[in-house]
Amino acid sequence: MGFEPKIQGIACNWCTYTGADLAGTTRLKYPQNLRLVRVMCSSRINPSFIFRAFQLGADGVMVGGCHPGDCHYGTGNMYARRRLAITKKILDFAGMEPERFRVEWISASEGKRFAEVVEELTNTIKELGPQTKFKIEK
Amino acid sequence: MTDAKTIETRLKEEAKKLLESGVVSVVLGYGPGYDEKHPMPFAASTPEEAENLVFNEFCTANMARYIGRYPAGTKLAVAVKGADSRAVIVLIQEGKVKREDLVMLGIPFKGLKDQATGREIDEKTTGATYNPVIYDVLLGDLIREAAPSPYTVLAELQSMGRDERWAFWEKELGKCIRCYACRKACPMCYCDPCFVDQTRPQWADKSPNIQGNLMYHLTRFYHLAGRCVDCGECSRACPVNIPLYLFHKEVARECEEMFKQKAGMDINDKPVMVDFKVEDSNDILE
Amino acid sequence: MKKITPEKFPAFVSALLGKGPLWAPVADGETVNFTLISDPVQVTLDFYNTTLSPKGVFFPQSEEIIRYTLGKERIESEAVPTDVKPQVVLGVRPCDVRSFEVMDAIFESGGITDPYWKKRRENTAIIGFAFDTVDPADFYNAFGIHAADERGSDLFLVKQGPDFLIKAITKKGEELLSALGLDDASADDEKYYNEKIARGPELKTRTINLEGAPDKLTRAFDSPYWQKAAMACISCGTCTFVCPTCHCFDINDETLFRKGARRRLWDACMFTNFTLEASGHNPRTKVSQRLRQRVSHKFSYYVKNFEVTSCVGCGRCTRSCPVNIDILSVAEGAIKEGEKQ
């Protein structure tokens, strides 16, 4: 049967999204389960996006941004780091498996790393199975 | 510790002085309710009204939440216990009120009681301090005894496995009837509009089912990160007794551990979620 | 009349369960609320009154009215049938039983009947339960309701020591009682029951003189009293949600991707955005305006429309209010203000 997870990805335009492009242009193979959304900076990410993604049925969420210190806007990812850390702690305390939500700093030149991270995350979530705790059933 | 009756007498005296001299136009404190165990939040605007002020061990309300009702620039006196004073500091940090517009009447107190059960509730309302953190006038002697750690009450939840913890929150948050008393009781929930009232986008369905409740509560726990001062009002306001304070305490504990700062302790601090330190470690994302 | 000893109580509940869905008070820590039960062990009759009122039996907090699917060109929709099997609600206090009558007035008015309310009302047998004590927050005496008031119940329970005495009040109650296989009560038991009912009015609650209240409240409309009364109010809406006679609702479409449901949901006039209009204007931005609205609606406008006060003095709002606002005190104060005008 093979469960194919739906993984929501949110990536910053300048680093991670470009890194994902690089993975593509260098013909790297990685699982198709990631649905990537582009934001200009990881600090645009409202933690409610993460909760909402799980509510709408995502089995996993991945956030990608520039390495702290290299943010295109200077300090955006520094704020994002704090916000996403708290989000992770909240999900963990509520009883959601923390492996389902992953934050990675991936630069524009790290196409290979992007592919690796997506592969890792997809395999982890395949093992965890479908996410049912937050998912809204209609 | 100065007893409640003495604090009450001093509260009335100070309030009358401040109102008579015109230093403040309103004194926010506690007044009589339908019986002695149920005092109410009370605003005195004249020295005659100040005669109605009360203070006893059932005065659990956090008066900081009424500050925002008055137009900017109104001179207010606020009766503040430990956690309440921290709430005022957060409001000052966030620019909701100016320090010079407030006269804080500090009340050191130990032994607050829950109005519904009569039991002592210090683990729900210590704010890790019996003494107000900031005050202009002290209405009682400072308490020397150190308050217990606000986080020991988390031990049970922390020892649970993930699935057990999920079952706990699924049951508790499943009880929620979306009355939003928690939001309204909190001095820090002053957003207009609140995210849960927005329809574009609609973050959470209005129906009281577990998914909608999760979206509301988890987002609210997040919005209070680094701002919650552990006053316990949300949990006392809840008509179905959901232990919200447990989750808020856990978030506060994480903030303290990761960012080395507690909400509302120093008027010159920047709230942790609108700040960053270059030294923040990537480990916090593990 | 029948008698139920503690040993026979589970069998009594099982017999009721055998007749259809059963709503009964269930304890969860310190909170007791009416819930649909499946096991006699869940039931408790050892409580003063529930936190939430039993109005949810007839008027659920969230009710699906229409289900729909958003197609590419059309919306497929179907009305959700109100599927109500004959059901029983056990352990309703006299003030709450009266609240159903008060609500009947609005759910069937102006020539329009609310089919959801009506269907549930017709299909539910009510087992009332006499009070043995009085909570200081209650004031149901003001509405001609006494502690052992049988009015409106199909069956009525009275506690005698550890036992319960149960009597059929209506034909529906008689039919139900005869099918439960309970032991007969003795002549002494009947005497005890009748005395309890007769002496119900002696268990006094607070009260208020509501004569002329509707007009007095209208005259108090512009009084600055409302600002003082509403000082502590945080507009949370808890009073409305626990109240047995509050009935305002909102209709919301809740959609997920392409499928959804139109739901009727409880709303509260105490919420800040209750009167927020599409234009952005909100005629009741101040909490004093909203408190005035709630109290005036209950004690004035509803009376003018339906000749009955939209309150049964159950005390829930006062007990659940986070800041201890006491609706009786507020109504009294407002009536006095109206008398001054």
Render pLDDT for B21-37 as a digit per residue (tens, 0 to 9). Answer: 999 999 999 999 988 89
Residues of chain C contacting B78 with CB distance shorter than 8 Å: none
Chain C nearest CA to B64, separation (Å): 12
> Residue C164: which residues within 8 A CB-CB, separation 6 or more?
C3, C4, C9, C45, C157, C158
The per-residue pLDDT for range C111-154, each reduced to its tens digit, is 889 999 999 999 999 999 999 999 999 999 999 999 999 999 99
User: Which residue, among C51, B274, B186, C183, has the nearest Cα to A82 in the 3D structure?
Assistant: B274
pLDDT in the model for residue B62: 94
Level-2 CATH architecture, domain A7-128: 3-Layer(aba) Sandwich (3.40)
Residues of chain C contacting B115 with CB distance shorter than 8 Å: 324
What's the token pair of residue C214?
């509707």
Q: What is the mean pLDDT of residues B273-286?
A: 88
Question: What are the C-alpha distances in Å from B18 to residues B11, B23, B42, B76, B175?
Answer: 11, 5, 16, 10, 45
- Quickly state the pLDDT bin for B126 (edges 50, 70, 90): low
pLDDT in the model for residue B123: 67
- Quickly state the pLDDT bin for C322 (edges 50, 70, 90): very high
Say if C238 is an interface residue toward chain B (CB within 8 Å).
Answer: yes
Please state, in angstroms and rounded to a whole number, the distance separating the CA atoms of residues C44 and C255. 38
Interface test with A, best of C256, C257, C258, C263 (most A CBs within 10 A): C256
Tell whether the model's pLDDT for residue C297 goes beyond 70. Answer: yes
Using CB atoms, list chains with 3+ pairs below 8 Å to chain C: A, B
ipTM, 2 dp: 0.94
Domain ranges of chain A: 7-128
The per-residue pLDDT for range C178-231, each reduced to its tens digit, is 999 999 999 999 999 999 999 999 999 999 999 999 999 999 999 999 999 999
pLDDT in the model for residue B124: 61
What's the token pair of residue A47?
């933690």
- Cβ atoms C316, C306 nearer than 8 A: no
Please state, in angstroms and rounded to a whole number, the distance separating the CA atoms of residues C335 and A13. 64
Please state, in angstroms and rounded to a whole number, the distance separating the CA atoms of residues C2 and C15. 14
* Helix and strand totals (H; E) in chain C: 12, 14
- Cβ atoms B110, B123 nearer than 8 A: no
Which residue does chain A place closest to C64, by CA atoms? Answer: A138
Sheet holding C249-256, edge to edge: C75-79, C62-70, C259-266, C249-256
Please state, in angstroms and rounded to a whole number, the distance separating the CA atoms of residues C249 and C227. 26
- CB hemisphere CA count around C114 (13 angstroms): 18
Give the rounded percent of residues in chain C with a pLDDT score beyond 90.
Answer: 94
Tell me which amino acid residue C278 is.
Answer: A
pLDDT in the model for residue B283: 85
Can you tell me whether residue A13 is helix, strand or coil?
A: helix
Q: How many CB atoms lie within 10 A of CB B98?
A: 11
Q: Which B-chain residues 191-220 have CB contacts (< 8 A) with chain A?
A: 195, 203, 205, 211, 214-215, 218-219
B258/A134 Cβ within 8 A: no
- Quickly state the pLDDT bin for B264 (edges 50, 70, 90): very high
pLDDT in the model for residue B127: 60
pLDDT in the model for residue B284: 85
Q: What is the mean pLDDT of residues C34-49?
A: 95
The per-residue pLDDT for range B199-212, each reduced to its tens digit, is 888 899 899 999 99
Please state, in angstroms and rounded to a whole number, the distance separating the CA atoms of residues B212 and C62. 12
Q: What is the mean pLDDT of residues C310-322?
A: 95
- Cβ atoms B239, C238 nearer than 8 A: yes
- Cβ atoms B211, A55 nearer than 8 A: yes
Q: What is the pTM of this model?
A: 0.94
Across the B:C interface, residue pairs with CB atoms under 8 Å apart total 93
B190 CB burial (10 A radius; 0-12, 13-18, 19+): middle
A134/B211 Cβ within 8 A: yes
Which residue does chain C place closest to A136, by CA atoms? Answer: C256
Which residue does chain C place closest to B185, by CA atoms? Answer: C234
Residues of chain B contacting A84 with CB distance shorter than 8 Å: 285
Computed over every residue of chain B, the mean pLDDT equals 92
DSSP 3-state percent helix, strand, coil across chain B (nearest 5): 40, 10, 50
Q: How many CB atoms lie within 10 A of CB B278?
A: 8
Question: What are the C-alpha distances in Å from B183 to residues A31, C234, C236, C238?
Answer: 42, 9, 8, 12
- Cβ atoms C179, C168 nearer than 8 A: no
Q: Using the structure block, give the residue that is written with the tokens 């308490």.
A: B143
pLDDT in the model for residue B128: 65
Please state, in angstroms and rounded to a whole number, the distance separating the CA atoms of residues A5 and A3. 6
Chain C nearest CA to A35, separation (Å): 16
A56/C260 Cβ within 8 A: no
pLDDT in the model for residue B47: 96
B241/C322 Cβ within 8 A: no
Computed over every residue of chain C, the mean pLDDT equals 95
- Cβ atoms B75, B101 nearer than 8 A: yes
The per-residue pLDDT for range B202-258, each reduced to its tens digit, is 899 899 999 999 999 999 999 999 999 999 999 999 999 999 999 999 999 999 999
Across the A:B interface, residue pairs with CB atoms under 8 Å apart total 95
What's the token pair of residue B4?
């409640």
**pLDDT under 70: residue ranges of chain A:** 1, 138
